[in-house]
């Protein structure tokens, strides 16, 4: 808690919690209120103020409780809880005025609409900045910086610092107090671009825009936006003008009843005259925003580069066989298309070698799939060690491998295939549990030829596959070249 943070009134909190119960009586709440003379005096003062609009002046706490009723007393207690959350000092006063301005605007809007539940509207307006007040209890300077920004940009400013939207934080707080859903809905939706459908949420939405006219930015534009928002919820013409004229007076009166002195609240016309004096303070906030946006731009560039590299890795993964690390069938198909096109352009030779591990099913059945995986990885390693630079090996599927051999005719491709076959035959593989495994493969080789038809790749694969199966039928562990 900040050192100038006030403790929240315990009795007010208890009354809020008890008022939730459907069978609580005003008498019970009055009994609770009398336990704290300071709280009782504040309730009487609030009940007599223009804020809650009780018609007949009351003189003691029990009378105040009877006139306010359960819901009214709950709202008074909520107001005191909120005001007690606001720290003292200049930063705290900025937060308090912003909260009171929204509360007063909401009450005036409800009054203009003929709504009887004026205290509900006042309380909803008071809760619109509760998310910022919650932040102030651990970071007063940061919360005050947000509160000094023009109202329309506060959510952007909060998100830029990763502190979260105060509307959502406030709505969660209201829900945690088990208040009516209409109250939390009003808090959650007061920054939406268009007015919500629920009555209390519409009042809060308009109150946010009315209050924002006093809080920095293009005054004429903000006043027009406030007037338009009032008209959208049903407060039109002179009624809207009169509402904004009365707002500073209600804000000042509310601060007095909460026993928190604030600076004099001025009309919009006077505010425009004083605008030049406020520009210095506003420019500090804008400078902070610009610096933060510059930092965000750098972070964005760094994230973009990380995303690019991640996409490269993903693309590689999509084209790579996880077990062997060789290109997969999809990648090989792309490479084959390119190599055939290159061979045709340059009128050079191109061959395809296909190999299949001998008796692979028997190996799996005898020693398990883990042993089979070890053998396939070893085949891939042998291919890498025996092939030329520019040759393209790939795992074609299961125990089948293929290799593109650019600039190699039938004789040259046969030499490469024989080199791989011999190296594989001579290789011992350390299998699971110390088992020593040996593997051989059958090889088929085919070369690109003129007149192979429109689909040269399919023709080349078909002929290499036929040669490989001929090698198997001839006893396996051998190379057959289709000439």
- Give the number of other Cβ atoms within 10 Å of residue 245's Cβ: 13
Q: What is the C-alpha to C-alpha distance for residues 123 and 79, in angstroms, rounded to an integer? A: 6
List, in sequence order, every residue forming a beta bridge with 335; answer none if it has no partner: none
| Residue 262, helix vs strand vs coil | coil
SS (H, E, C) 329-374: HHHHHHHHHHHHHHHHHHCCCEEEEEEEECCHHHHHHHHCHHHHHH
Structure tokens at 361: 């099913």
Q: Looking at 192, 269, 399, 400, which residue is catalytic?
A: 399
Element of type H or E holding 168: helix 166-176
Element of type H or E holding 401: strand 400-406
| Residue 193, helix vs strand vs coil | coil
**Catalytic site residue 399?**
yes
Whole-Å CA distances, 460 to 168, 356, 361: 63, 16, 27
SS (H, E, C) 10-29: HHHHHHHHHHCCCCCCHHHH
Q: Is 391 left (phi over 0), alpha (psi -120 to 50) or beta?
A: beta
| Active site members | 399
């Amino acid at each position: 808690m900040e050192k100038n943070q006030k403790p929240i009134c315990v009795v007010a909190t208890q009354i809020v919690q008890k008022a939730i119960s459907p069978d609580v009586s005003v008498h019970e709440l009055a009994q609770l209120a009398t336990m704290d003379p300071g709280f009782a005096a504040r309730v009487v003062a609030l009940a007599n103020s223009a804020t809650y609009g009780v018609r007949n002046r009351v003189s003691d706490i029990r009378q105040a409780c009877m006139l306010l009723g359960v819901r009214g007393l709950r709202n008074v207690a909520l107001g005191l809880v909120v005001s007690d959350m606001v720290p003292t000092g200049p930063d705290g006063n900025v937060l308090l005025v912003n909260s009171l301005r929204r509360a007063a605007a909401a009450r005036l809007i409800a009054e203009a609409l003929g709504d009887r539940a004026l205290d509900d509207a006042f309380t909803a307006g008071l809760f619109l900045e509760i998310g910022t007040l919650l932040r102030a209890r651990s970071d007063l300077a940061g919360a005050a910086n947000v509160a000094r920004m023009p109202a329309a940009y506060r959510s952007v400013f909060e998100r830029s610092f990763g502190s979260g939207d105060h509307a959502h934080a406030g709505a969660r707080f209201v829900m945690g107090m088990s208040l009516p859903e209409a109250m939390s809905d009003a808090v959650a939706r007061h920054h939406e671009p268009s007015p919500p459908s629920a009555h209390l949420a519409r009042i809060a939405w308009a109150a946010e825009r009315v209050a924002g006219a006093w809080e920095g930015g293009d005054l004429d534009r903000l006043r027009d936006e406030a007037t338009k928002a009032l008209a959208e919820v049903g407060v039109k013409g002179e009624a809207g003008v009169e509402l904004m004229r009365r707002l500073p007076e209600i804000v000042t009166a509310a601060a007095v009843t909460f026993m928190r002195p604030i600076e004099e609240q001025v009309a919009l016309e006077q505010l425009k005259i004083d605008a030049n004096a406020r520009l210095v303070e506003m420019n500090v906030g804008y400078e902070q925003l610009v610096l933060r946006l510059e930092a965000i731009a750098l972070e964005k560039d760094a994230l973009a580069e990380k995303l690019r590299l991640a996409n490269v890795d993903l693309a590689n993964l999509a084209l790579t066989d996880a077990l062997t690390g060789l290109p997969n069938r999809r990648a090989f198909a792309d490479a084959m298309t390119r190599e055939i096109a290159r061979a045709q352009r340059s009128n050079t030779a191109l061959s395809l070698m296909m190999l299949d591990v001998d008796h692979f099913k028997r190996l799996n059945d005898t020693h398990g799939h883990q042993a089979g995986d070890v053998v396939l990885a070893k085949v891939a390693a042998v291919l890498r060690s025996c092939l030329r630079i520019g040759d393209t090996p790939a795992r074609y599927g299961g125990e089948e491998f293929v290799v593109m051999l650019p600039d190699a005719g039938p004789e040259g491709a046969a030499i490469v295939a024989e080199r791989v076959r011999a190296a594989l035959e001579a290789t011992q593989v350390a299998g699971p549990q110390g088992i020593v495994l040996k593997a051989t493969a059958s090889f088929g080789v085919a070369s690109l030829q003129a007149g192979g038809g429109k689909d040269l790749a399919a023709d080349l694969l078909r002929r290499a596959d036929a040669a490989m199966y001929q090698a198997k039928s001839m006893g396996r562990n051998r190379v057959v070249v289709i000439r």
